[in-house]
Amino acid sequence: MPSLRGPLPEYPWDALAPYAELARAHPGGMIDLSVGSPIDPTPEVVRVALAAATDAHAYSATAGTLALREAIVGWLHRRRGVSVASSAVLPTIGSKELVALLPFLLGIGAGEAVVHPRVAYPSYAMGAALVGAEAVAADDPSEWPAHTRLVWVNSPGNPDGRVLGVEALRRAVSRARELGAVIVSDECYAELGWESPWDAERIPSVLDPRVVGEDHRGVLLAYSLSKQSNLAGYRAAFVAGDTALISELTNVRKHSGLMPPGPVQAAMTAALGDDAHVAEQRERYRARRAQLLPAVEAAGYRIDGSEAGLYLWVTRGADAWECVADFARSGILVGPGVFYGDASPRHVRLSLTATDAEIAEAARRLRG
């Protein structure tokens, strides 16, 4: 059967299987720091809202309930300093779905380019592959090619935890508009700033008035509740920004049946209205990071970036797979930098999504 795209690569995490086996052989067992799947409880306020909405006999609204749209608008204003109308937001079935499907939803195809960061979550490139478009890894806006139709920026970044300031975001938006491309900022870790100035200041959004003023033309932000609210299993996220783009995406998603379930929409509404559980979760991660980071340094690794987000991005100058093996011999499973593009052959990523006891034990092992 003819296809615009070639065969997709194997799922990268499958390559970790032999290292997981090595880590499990450790006398104390394996501590898995390779993925960022939350392990802490889903907040009670969210579970109560979900349970109360289980009489979901009707089809849910693709555009989201009015209560959810208003909750997103309120959260954006309160937590991100962004003002949008309720017609400029749209719930999605998790953020990975949006990342992978957005080129399709925007009608991008062969002969066009999707730009993403050089060190990046692989789903940006997969979204391009799924529609036969070219994936271009480039951080410098001057390097973005003329046939670019979609630009992804990611701040705070996964895996490297870097934060883009107002000026960097302004340059990115300006170049995308010059190319006639849509620019989307994946901001899923924006509540998790650790180092100066991001531990005290709001991490800038691409829709921050200092970046775009009041003009959201061609600009979107994507956000997920997976990390801040421990809702990874709920598949709860949203996109916001340019009203015309949101309208277009809503229409295509209606035709495609991409409707977040009604009970999940109720749970999202509750989560977005409660900041207390987010602050509590942030402090859990702060404490885990404070334990793990110095132990990783004591083991001979340098911390790069990692100023925000859920990961430590580290190197000791050796091949990434060699480092993965070294960690595995200590019973710790980590992710190699090569999973995040060709620019990171000597880095590995450690996640903070493990229990307090597991993080403490990992730190103990690393200190020897």
Chain segment 112-162, per-residue pLDDT in tens:
999 999 999 899 999 999 999 999 999 999 999 999 999 999 999 999 999
Contact 239, 90 (CB under 8 A): yes
Range of the domain at 251: 56-274
Distance between CA atoms of 309 and 160, rounded to whole angstroms? 8
CATH number at residue 200: 3.40.640.10
SS3 (DSSP) at 146? coil
pLDDT score, position 8: 62
CA torsion 290→292→295→297, rounded to 10°? -80
Distance between CA atoms of 183 and 177, rounded to whole angstroms? 8
Same domain, 266 and 283: no
Of the residues 274, 292, 309, which one is the last residue of a structural domain?
274
Of the residues 224, 252, 274, which one is the last residue of a structural domain?
274
Same domain, 283 and 264: no
Q: 């602050």: which residue's tokens?
A: 279
pLDDT score, position 1: 40
Structural domain tally of the chain? 2
Distance between CA atoms of 108 and 299, rounded to whole angstroms? 46
Helices and strands, number each (H, E), in the chain: 13, 13
Check the CA dihedral 304-40-236-135 and report its sign: positive
Q: 């209205």: which residue's tokens?
A: 273
% residues pLDDT > 90 (the chain) = 93
Same domain, 212 and 84: yes
Weakest-pLDDT range from 9-13, 81-85, 158-162, 302-306: 9-13
Distance between CA atoms of 156 and 252, rounded to whole angstroms? 29
- The whole model's pTM is what? 0.93
Structure tokens at 315: 């190197």
For 140, other C-beta atoms within 10 Å of its C-beta total 10
- pLDDT of 2 strictly over 50: no
CATH number at residue 361: 3.90.1150.10
46 within domain boundaries: no
- pLDDT of 197 strictly over 60: yes
DSSP tag of 69: H
Same domain, 322 and 249: no
Distance between CA atoms of 336 and 16, rounded to whole angstroms? 9
pLDDT score, position 7: 62
Q: What is the mean pLDDT of residues 323-331?
A: 98
What is the band of 14 on the pLDDT scale with cuts at 50, 70, 90?
A: confident
- pLDDT of 359 strictly over 70: yes
